[in-house]
């Protein structure tokens, strides 16, 4: 009897790395063509979904700007001096918590939606680079040709840190939140409720933004492992 381990003898599926090895035969030309069409259809569906995400993300920022314009117009109507508007904002009136912290919470929710869509975009790229690319390579459907090299190119120019758009929304909103907390003290009970609600929203936004960066680093690490040594981006100069 042969000592070769097969899926039927162990009851377990073979890892993806064994596809195309002696355990599983390479697909026939017709089967390979069908697999290429199937993977191409999946790729196109993911790109369509990514296009929808980009469209929604592009619409969020004009919506934020329009909303802030309306808020500023309500806070400082035409003909009202800036000093008067600031004095009314510092007063501990009953409507201040709703106006300040309520509007800030609305902005945070819109930015949280934007961060979630960015994470969905990155998740698509992570799936393409970590799963679909390896599936195509392991099944030897692309031969020795390189494909989907755009992220490899970006990785060479982007560095290993975070990009300006990944954390800028959370950092900018956090600075605005801190400024309002300092400028509007002392707080009423309504202010405390608004501060607590916005703190929770800010934590969610910051955690989401950090996870966005980590998701990009995950697929970049996968790509970096597949690059020749001379092409790998270096974090620092090697010590002599």
Closest to 218 in 3D by CA, of 114, 121, 123: 123
Domain membership of residue 124 (yes or no) is yes
Q: Which residue has the tokens 């961060």?
A: 115
Domain membership of residue 12 (yes or no) is no
Region 79-86: what's the mean pLDDT? 77
Domain membership of residue 189 (yes or no) is yes
Write out the two tokens for 9.
């003898």
Question: pLDDT at residue 197 above 60?
Answer: yes
Per-residue confidence band for 25, with pLDDT thresholds at 50, 70 and 90: low
Question: pLDDT at residue 155 above 70?
Answer: yes
Domain membership of residue 22 (yes or no) is no
Domain count, the chain: 1
Domain membership of residue 6 (yes or no) is no
Contact 160, 233 (CB under 8 A): yes
Domain membership of residue 74 (yes or no) is yes
**Cα separation, 195 vs 198, whole angstroms:** 5
The proportion of the chain whose per-residue pLDDT surpasses 90, expressed as a percent, equals 34
| pLDDT for res 232 | 44
pLDDT in tens, 134-147: 777 666 555 555 66
**Cα separation, 184 vs 182, whole angstroms:** 6
What would you measure as the largest C-alpha separation in the chain, in angstroms? 95
Give the domain range for residue 73: 30-142+152-230
Question: pLDDT at residue 41 above 80?
Answer: yes
Domain membership of residue 16 (yes or no) is no
Closest to 232 in 3D by CA, of 240, 222, 221, 224: 224
Flag whether the pTM goes above 0.85. no
User: Which residues neighbour 194 within 8 Å (Cβ) at sequence distance 6 or greater?
Assistant: 97, 98, 100, 101, 102, 104, 105
Region 185-195: what's the mean pLDDT? 89
Per-chain mean pLDDT for the chain: 77
| pLDDT for res 141 | 55
């Amino acid at each position: 009897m042969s000592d070769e381990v097969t899926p039927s003898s162990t009851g377990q599926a073979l890892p993806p790395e064994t596809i195309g090895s002696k355990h599983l035969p390479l697909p026939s030309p017709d089967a390979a063509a069908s697999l290429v069409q199937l993977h191409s259809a999946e790729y196109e569906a993911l790109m369509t979904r990514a296009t929808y995400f980009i469209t929604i993300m592009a619409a969020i920022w004009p919506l934020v700007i329009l909303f802030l314009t309306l808020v500023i117009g309500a806070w400082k109507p035409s003909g009202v001096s800036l000093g008067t508007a600031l004095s009314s904002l510092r007063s501990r009136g009953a409507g201040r918590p709703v106006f300040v912290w309520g509007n800030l919470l609305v902005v945070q929710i819109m930015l949280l939606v934007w961060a979630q869509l960015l994470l969905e975009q990155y998740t698509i790229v992570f799936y393409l680079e970590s799963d679909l690319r390896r599936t195509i390579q392991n099944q030897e459907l692309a031969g020795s040709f390189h494909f989907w090299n755009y992220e490899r190119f970006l990785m060479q120019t982007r560095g290993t840190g975070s990009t300006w758009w990944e954390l800028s929304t959370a950092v900018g909103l956090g600075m605005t939140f801190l400024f309002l907390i300092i400028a509007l003290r002392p707080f009423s009970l309504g202010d405390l409720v608004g501060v607590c609600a916005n703190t929770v929203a800010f934590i969610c936004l910051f955690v989401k933004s950090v996870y966005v960066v980590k998701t990009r680093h995950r697929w970049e690490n996968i790509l970096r492992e597949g690059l020749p040594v001379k092409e790998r981006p270096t974090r620092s100069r090697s010590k002599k």
